[in-house]
Chain A
Amino acid sequence: MKTLPTVALLVATLSLSACSGGLFNQNRLDTAGGADAAGAADTGITTGALAPNSVEFFNQSIGDRVLFAVDTSTLTPEGRATLTQQAGWLSTNPSFTAIIEGHADEQGTREYNLALGARRAAAVRDFLVTQGVADARLRTVTFGKERPIEVCSTEVCYAKNRRAVTVIGAGAVS
């Protein structure tokens, strides 16, 4: 009984993460063991912390994204802290690769924002490489202003749209 609200919250958090995460459907719940599936078979429902080597742990506990100020690709202190943890996770989970998506808010032309998104993705990639992640495991892509996660037209939303998202996947970077 007591566990039910927690599970509901967990599921809600995971589905939110799936919606607002990367554009590649690689963060599925079945890609790593978040909750203990074997335990669930025995007792019905078991609640526990996310496994530290899971993609969900990366996305939620470390954070899959960093944010940028207007028209910049400079990493903030908060962004560096997040990326340092991302680099640590990638180092302890060497079978995973990542695509880093650079995004811009809707202020600015389509072409300029594509180039700006590329700068942001490259800034993240370069930082992860300096932290010891092999360059070959990382690839960057820019979406410019094509894929906002927040849809209002004020700074509240723009601040969340100016982002670089590290999307974890398995296997070699194509």
Chain B
Amino acid sequence: MIHRFFALISLALIALMAPASAQEPLRIEIDNPNIEPLPFAVPNFIAETAGADQYAADLARVVAADLTGSGLFREIPSTAFISGVTSFDSPVQFSDWKAINAQALVTGSVSTAGDDQIVVKFRLFDVFSENQLGEGLQFVGSRAGWRRMAHKVADAVYSRITGEGAYFDSRLVYVSESGPKNARSKRIAIMDYDGANNQFLTTDQSIVLAPRFSPDGNRVIYTSYETGFPKIYILDIGTVSRQSLADQPGTMSFAPRFAPDGQSVIYSLTTGSNTDLYKLSVNGGAPQQLTSDPTIETAPSFAPDGSQIVFESDRSGTPQLYVMPAGGGAATRISFGQGRYGTPVWSPRGDLIAFTKQNRGRFHIGVMNTDGSGERLLTASFLDEGPTWAPNGRVIMFTRETAGEGGSSTLYSVDISGRNLRPIKQGASDPNWSPLLQ
């Protein structure tokens, strides 16, 4: 069902021209609180073969949308251009781009090859220093995967200018929602990070909750009520086949996540009135009980090095965040602010923990250092919950639900600076961001 399109990517060196810089290199200091979006231009790519014209225009549009959507770049529209780009290899007329204050210029070409392939090349220029920024790159892949090539171009531009890791060439798995609030239909769905290429992975026959990718991005673990009771399933995205996680009769299990090595999963299991954390090898065997308190322990998330687990517990009387060794043992409370804390998620860079906070009737998405210091709230609304990290640890996506009878869920993203809050997908909840695609 999922089209496995991409057999890429030859990183070919197109040009090495790099005259000595006359100015400071082009750079966005991403943590500067007074940051202004950097003006850039992306003329339509050059179609180098017949049949590549549509790709030439569409590729440029997706690159521009990626960069603009990050909140760090501002596109200069083509109507302002003084000169176009007519050939990928012609010298750039820097004065024409300086005159419209395009600080970065992205040029590209696309050609069709064989029955199903396209070849995409691009270069990035620092207009005011009249330099090429980094090497030109070439991507070869199937035509169906053209959007991924645009995301690869935008990722290279973003990384070279910000110094941060890339994140545009990635996907989200989430819960697609429809129907009235008291009989909501839910399906697991997958889409590109920008909402394109949406596909459903389950039917709407059962309630499904909180899908999460395996570390290689090829499988999804989630909770389904298809037996009438919450149980955990692992679904192979390529074949859309699934298997249930072994469980004990009479129990309920939910809130699963893979370990960073993909070899085990952690989850909540409820026996009687008590919910504890367990770990189970994906190859079977007996589950290992990680907590044994009479209180609620749920929403576990591994540190990226696999050494620790952050989770939510109400052992203090209200839900708070705790960190414990990956094999269980003594847990340290890390949340001490006012209110109730839940759904902690460790950043892929390992430096921060994102969480949901409920305080005075409002919900927030926030981040804190892994020892609980430096708490910062990024959002506030009637109901925000369930953060997930972009692969570069810079951007967070989450569920925002509106109040009342007509209340509905929408996926939003926000930069960890708190800037650039924007809706991504309506009728959607429980997002989980994939690793950067290969």
* A110 and B430 contacting across the interface, CB-CB below 8 Å: yes
Residue of A nearest to B298 (CB): A111
User: Which one of A115, A122, A149, A152 lies within 8 Å of B298 (CB-CB)?
Assistant: A115
Question: Is the C-beta of B103 less than 8 angstroms from some C-beta in chain A?
Answer: no
| Distance from A58 Cβ to chain B, minimum over Cβ atoms (Å) | 20
* A141 and B252 contacting across the interface, CB-CB below 8 Å: yes
Task: Give the interface residue-count category, chain A.
Answer: 20 to 34
Q: Which of B28-36, B105-113, B268-276 contacts A (4 or more CB under 8 A)?
A: B268-276
* A109 and B356 contacting across the interface, CB-CB below 8 Å: yes
* A109 and B296 contacting across the interface, CB-CB below 8 Å: no
Residue of B nearest to A161 (CB): B182
User: Once the chains are docked, how many angstroms separate the CA of A112 from the CA of B321?
Assistant: 12
Question: Is the C-beta of B180 less than 8 angstroms from some C-beta in chain A?
Answer: yes
* B343 and A151 contacting across the interface, CB-CB below 8 Å: no
User: Once the chains are docked, how many angstroms separate the CA of A139 from the CA of B228?
Assistant: 11
* A146 and B342 contacting across the interface, CB-CB below 8 Å: no
Question: Is the C-beta of A94 less than 8 angstroms from some C-beta in chain B?
Answer: no
| Distance from B381 Cβ to chain A, minimum over Cβ atoms (Å) | 12
Question: Is the C-beta of A64 less than 8 angstroms from some C-beta in chain B?
Answer: no
User: Which one of B182, B254, B299 lies within 8 Å of A148 (CB-CB)?
Assistant: B182
| Distance from B102 Cβ to chain A, minimum over Cβ atoms (Å) | 45
User: Once the chains are docked, how many angstroms separate the CA of A147 from the CA of B180?
Assistant: 10
* A151 and B180 contacting across the interface, CB-CB below 8 Å: yes
User: Which one of A109, A119, A141 lies within 8 Å of B385 (CB-CB)?
Assistant: A109
Question: Is the C-beta of B230 less than 8 angstroms from some C-beta in chain A?
Answer: yes
User: Which one of A115, A123, A126, A141 lies within 8 Å of B296 (CB-CB)?
Assistant: A115
Mark B404-434 against chain A: 1 for CB-CB distance below 8 A, else 0: 1101000000000000000000000010000
User: Once the chains are docked, how many angstroms separate the CA of A171 from the CA of B44?
Assistant: 68
Mark B246-286 against chain A: 1 for CB-CB distance below 8 A, else 0: 00001010110000000000001010110100000000000
* B404 and A152 contacting across the interface, CB-CB below 8 Å: yes
Residue of A nearest to B207 (CB): A146
Residue of B nearest to A119 (CB): B273
Question: Is the C-beta of B383 less than 8 angstroms from some C-beta in chain A?
Answer: yes
Interface centre among A24, A115, A126 (most CB of B within 10 A): A115
Mark A92-121 against chain B: 1 for CB-CB distance below 8 A, else 0: 000000010000001111111011101100
User: Once the chains are docked, how many angstroms separate the CA of A35 from the CA of B234?
Assistant: 48
Question: Is the C-beta of B229 less than 8 angstroms from some C-beta in chain A?
Answer: yes
User: Which residues on the B side are within 8 Å of A149 (C-beta)?
Assistant: 182
Question: Is the C-beta of A73 less than 8 angstroms from some C-beta in chain B?
Answer: yes
User: Which residues on the A side are within 8 Å of B405 (C-beta)?
Assistant: 151-152
* A142 and B270 contacting across the interface, CB-CB below 8 Å: yes
Mark B155-187 against chain A: 1 for CB-CB distance below 8 A, else 0: 000000000000000000000000011111000
Given A146-B207, A151-B180, A151-B404, are A109 and B275 also a contact pair (CB < 8 Å)?
Answer: no
User: Which residues on the A side are within 8 Å of B343 (C-beta)?
Assistant: 109-111
User: Which residues on the A side are within 8 Å of B298 (C-beta)?
Assistant: 111-112, 114-115
Mark A143-155 against chain B: 1 for CB-CB distance below 8 A, else 0: 1001111111100
* B252 and A108 contacting across the interface, CB-CB below 8 Å: no
* A153 and B270 contacting across the interface, CB-CB below 8 Å: no
User: Which residues on the A side are within 8 Å of B230 (C-beta)?
Assistant: 114, 141-142
User: Which residues on the A side are within 8 Å of B59 (C-beta)?
Assistant: none
* A111 and B210 contacting across the interface, CB-CB below 8 Å: yes
* A111 and B358 contacting across the interface, CB-CB below 8 Å: no
| Distance from A19 Cβ to chain B, minimum over Cβ atoms (Å) | 9
* B184 and A112 contacting across the interface, CB-CB below 8 Å: no
User: Which residues on the B side are within 8 Å of A108 (C-beta)?
Assistant: 319, 340, 342, 358
* B342 and A112 contacting across the interface, CB-CB below 8 Å: yes
User: Which residues on the A side are within 8 Å of B228 (C-beta)?
Assistant: 24, 99, 141
A-B contact list, 22 entries, CB within 8 Å: A24-B228, A106-B383, A108-B340, A108-B342, A109-B358, A109-B385, A110-B343, A111-B343, A112-B299, A112-B314, A112-B319, A114-B230, A114-B270, A116-B296, A122-B273, A123-B273, A126-B273, A141-B228, A142-B252, A142-B270, A147-B207, A153-B407
Q: Which residues of B contact A (CB under 8 A)?
A: 180-184, 207, 209-210, 228-230, 250, 252, 254-255, 268, 270, 272-273, 275, 296, 298-299, 312, 314, 319, 340, 342-343, 356, 358, 382-383, 385-386, 401, 403-405, 407, 430
Interface contacts beyond A107-B358, A109-B343, A118-B270: sample of 13 additional A-B pairs, CB < 8 Å, sorted by A: A24-B228, A108-B340, A109-B319, A110-B386, A111-B210, A112-B312, A115-B275, A118-B275, A141-B230, A141-B252, A142-B230, A146-B207, A148-B182
